[in-house]
Structure 1
Amino acid sequence: MYSYEDRMRAVQLYIQYGRRGAATVRDLGYPSVKHLRRWYRHYLKTGDLPPDRSLPGNSYSPEKRRAAVDHYLQTGRCVAHTIRALGYPDGGTLRIWLNEDLGPTPQSQGRGAPKRHIDDKRQAVYELCTRQTSATAVAQRYGVTDSALYNWRDQLLGKEAKRSPVKRQDDNANDGDPEALRAEVKALEKRVHELQLEHDILVKASEIVKKEGGVNPQTLSNREKTLLVDALKGAYRLSELWKAVQLPRSSYYYQREALQRPDKYAEARQAIATIFENNYRCYGYRRIGESLRCDGAALSEKVVRRLMSEEGLIVGSTQRRRFSSYRGELSPAPENIIARDFQAPAPNEKWLTDITEFPVPDGKVYLSPMIDCFDGLAVSWSISASPNAELVNAMLDEAIRTLAPGERPVVHSDRGCHYRWPGWLKRLEAADLTRSMSRKGCTPDNAACEAFFGRLKVEFFYARQWTGTTMEQFIAELDAYIRWYNESRIKMSLGGRSPIEYRRDLGIAA
């Protein structure tokens, strides 16, 4: 409970602050806003506050008060359970009784107790450690008890504060003791030093090791910890740095020696970067490893993958968006002869075709290729700014010219309108080629051609910025990529060779 003077001071300050309860409680440190408003309403009605510190509806005998506090202590320290069992008082009143009898413990402060900002606590602890007056005077300035003030000190300073020679029970005995004050200041300075060290480690982890600021230093590798220690050893002792990052002394010196050794993979790094850049930045570790083996520098896949990661050589990711030329069932569709069997024992037995688009700054560019299921070779292709009949007809004419006498491949496509127009049908009939079509809305029926488009866009289109590129320049670069795809781009399914190299090794004219 609060004295008459305390309650009157609170009501007068409440009026002075324009009836802003939160500001009043923040300055005084008591009571709750609910009790403050109750006092104010009583003050308006009577012009005064009751001198016996009891308000209407809150008058309880000392015996009832003692019974409520004992019940609280004996039944698990639950305010709600005590109120339900006894039928009195309200939660705020019971917490006030507990605060007076037990001190400001976490169980007795309740939701109505004002929450202190961390800066206020730090200032109070600083004044406690450097005080010229008693701890009681410092506590009164912040509206808390001595016990709460020392709890703040222990929370902020940790174990060093608890080991300090200043005694809580006999605080006044140390008020004039310079040694005790110096010990507390030293403990505070030590804690500040430790916090600064933790901060610097996190900053360096972000700058040097490229880790986020919230990374746990203990989860870093010994090599990364060694880099951190070397970066901070000019400002801190090695022993405290080792302890902070949990790095054994022997491991530190081993890693330092390892970091000073010449990089045995220096030439391999340069070769990997060259292969990556010269192949549209699309080679992963498997194809780069195969290229190195062809050049006589064999490295394991794990080493190639690690070196690529350290050099930041990352293959671009896909951004899927499909072009559709379907315009409905314009004419009867032929049978799906391919039936998802995209394997061919010889060239020019199964051909796949489709259309895809590339949005560039000047507009859209459309590509129509003819893919051979034997080895994935692009037999022919046409590129245009419009997805018209000429796009597919020109591609088909060029593909037919590559056929030897007697070769009659199956030409498989989706159900797009381009493959149902008279020009397309007339050319297939004249060359005696067999038509095959996917089922309606079934992309997997033409999966091998779709896979070609996917690789093309990931390796060539999505990995680059095309701002400022004209349509003519883009068409020229797309044409160059497909030629590189046929002649130089290795496929692991072909034994690390390009489609044309594979045919040459088999003795097949390409």
Structure 2
Amino acid sequence: MRSQRDKYPIRLLCRVAMVSPSGFYSWLKAPEDALMSRSESLRKAIRFYHQRSSGVYGYRKIHKDIIEETTLRCCRETVRRAMKSDGLRSKVTRKHRYPANIEQIPRAAPNVLARDFTAATPDQKWTADITYLWTNEGWLYLAVVLDLFSRRVVGWAMSERADAHLACQALEAAIQLRRPGLGLLHHSDQGCQYTSGAFSAVLDQYGIVCSMSRRGNCWDNAVTESFFSKLKREWVRGKRYRTRNDARQDIFLYLEAFYNRKRRHAFLGYQSPEAFEQLFYQAKQKQAA
């Protein structure tokens, strides 16, 4: 403002900068050391409120904290510039979008599952989806396959790329582990990974029936969405992964050591997925005997 005051009216400059004319003139009259002290106080306050929010807040919310909780007075733009200068930013990014292959021909399937999330036996209905986890090295993508009978994670894969290969890896891991019979129903969303030719080929190879959610309707795949919510709320929240390998090891512990084998599930009568399946097979053996 000081450099532009000869070109534009002071009131106009103050309106743009969201400061009062009296505040601007007071700033002009202030000694240089006082200005430096105020600037440092403001930077300390910005760092404090950014850290207090665990890096979640951007400049708008930090400005609000400063105005309401301190005697410092500044405009949003000042806070934004100071944060940029100090390398501070909100860790909350805009809605994540998976990279898509624009040359791919979508192969969407009807919603055969139709929100019937029950199954009478294991390996009758599977659901699948992909989520993402942040590490200091970048995104790590996790693809899972759930059995609706026991809510067990029967297949999973992790990669730094959210492509069809990742979805295929998770499905093939589930197939190798469970050896399902023909007619298994596989349900997913209409993501490019699941509408790809490569994924369709795996389904066809093993005689698996394909079902997909309606476009933009997350409730059609609610069980898998709920699983990802549990993973992030119970296990990932508050953690900062230094490398993708650190994240892989930690997620493996959740999937195989905790969720499948120990975590009590309300839908299963507060049994773990593994215990629920064991009871099913034990009862089946008794019936056969």
Which position in structure 2 is the counterpart of 1:485? 259
Identify the match of residue 115 of structure 2 among 340, 348, 365.
Answer: 340
Which position in structure 1 is the counterpart of 2:200? 425
* Whole-Å separation in 2 of the counterparts to 1:344 and 1:465: 35
Change (3 A) 1:405 1:476: closer
Which position in structure 1 is the counterpart of 2:236? 461
Change (3 A) 1:376 1:323: farther
Which has the larger Rg? Answer: 1
Instruction: Give the 3-state SS of the residue equivalent to 1:386 in structure 2.
Output: coil
* 1:292-303 alignment, distance < 5 Å: none
Instruction: Give the 3-state SS of the residue equivalent to 2:140 in structure 1.
Output: strand
Identify the match of residue 390 of structure 1 among 132, 148, 165.
Answer: 165
Which position in structure 1 is the counterpart of 2:248? 475
Alignment of 1:503 with 2:277, yes or no, is yes
TM-score (structure 1 length as normaliser): 0.35
Alignment of 1:413 with 2:201, yes or no, is no
Q: How far apart are 1:423 and its partner, in Å?
A: 1.4
* Whole-Å separation in 2 of the counterparts to 1:380 and 1:487: 14
Q: How far apart are 1:330 and its partner, in Å?
A: 3.2
Q: How far apart are 1:388 and its partner, in Å?
A: 2.1
Question: Structure 1: which amino acid aligns with 2:271?
Answer: R
Q: How far apart are 1:443 and its partner, in Å?
A: 1.0
Change (3 A) 1:320 1:376: farther
Q: How far apart are 1:466 and its partner, in Å?
A: 1.1
1:30-74 CA-to-partner distances (Å, cap 9, x unmatched) read xxxxxxxxxxxxxxxxxxxxxxxxxxxxxxxxxxxxxxxxxxxxx
* Whole-Å separation in 2 of the counterparts to 1:454 and 1:330: 31
Question: Structure 1: which amino acid aligns with 2:255?
Answer: I
Change (3 A) 1:485 1:491: same
* Whole-Å separation in 1 of the counterparts to 2:128 and 2:113: 12
1:253-311 CA-to-partner distances (Å, cap 9, x unmatched) read xxxxxxxxxxxxxxxxxxxxxxxxxxxxxxxxxxxxxxxxxxxxxxxxxxxxxxxxxxx
* 1:46-57 alignment, distance < 5 Å: none
Paired residues of 2:143 and 2:166 also in contact (CA < 8 A): yes
Alignment of 1:446 with 2:195, yes or no, is no
* Whole-Å separation in 1 of the counterparts to 2:239 and 2:266: 28
Instruction: Give the 3-state SS of the residue equivalent to 1:504 in structure 2.
Output: helix
Paired residues of 1:438 and 1:445 also in contact (CA < 8 A): yes
Question: Structure 1: which amino acid aligns with 2:109?
Answer: P
- Identity over aligned pairs, percent: 31
* Whole-Å separation in 1 of the counterparts to 2:93 and 2:270: 27
* Whole-Å separation in 1 of the counterparts to 2:112 and 2:212: 8
Q: How far apart are 1:474 and its partner, in Å?
A: 1.3
Change (3 A) 1:466 1:441: same
* Whole-Å separation in 2 of the counterparts to 1:465 and 1:361: 11
* 1:71-470 alignment, distance < 5 Å: 323-325=96-98, 327=100, 330-404=105-179, 406-462=181-237, 464-466=238-240, 469-470=242-243
Q: How far apart are 1:495 and its partner, in Å?
A: 2.1
TM-score (structure 2 length as normaliser): 0.60
Question: Structure 1: which amino acid aligns with 2:276?
Answer: Y
Instruction: Give the 3-state SS of the residue equivalent to 1:381 in structure 2.
Output: strand
Question: Structure 2: which amino acid aligns with 1:489?
Answer: R
Q: How far apart are 1:332 and its partner, in Å?
A: 4.3
Instruction: Give the 3-state SS of the residue equivalent to 1:415 in structure 2.
Output: coil
Change (3 A) 1:364 1:322: same
Instruction: Give the 3-state SS of the residue equivalent to 1:417 in structure 2.
Output: coil
Instruction: Give the 3-state SS of the residue equivalent to 1:420 in structure 2.
Output: coil
Q: How far apart are 1:324 and its partner, in Å?
A: 4.5
Instruction: Give the 3-state SS of the residue equivalent to 2:260 in structure 1.
Output: helix
Count of residue correspondences: 189
1:3-30 CA-to-partner distances (Å, cap 9, x unmatched) read xxxxxxxxxxxxxxxxxxxxxxxxxxxx
Instruction: Give the 3-state SS of the residue equivalent to 1:354 in structure 2.
Output: strand
Specify every segment of 5 or more residues in structure 1 that has no aligned partner in the other structure, as ranges. Answer: 1-318
1:362-397 CA-to-partner distances (Å, cap 9, x unmatched) read 211100000111121001100111112221111111
* Whole-Å separation in 1 of the counterparts to 2:198 and 2:272: 33
Q: How far apart are 1:465 and its partner, in Å?
A: 2.8
> Which fold has the larger relative contact order, with Cα–Cα distance below 8 Å and residues 6 or more apart in sequence?
2
Q: How far apart are 1:322 and its partner, in Å?
A: 6.5
* Whole-Å separation in 1 of the counterparts to 2:105 and 2:133: 26
Question: Structure 1: which amino acid aligns with 2:267?
Answer: S
Q: How far apart are 1:407 and its partner, in Å?
A: 4.5
Paired residues of 1:325 and 1:418 also in contact (CA < 8 A): no
Q: How far apart are 1:413 and its partner, in Å?
A: 0.7
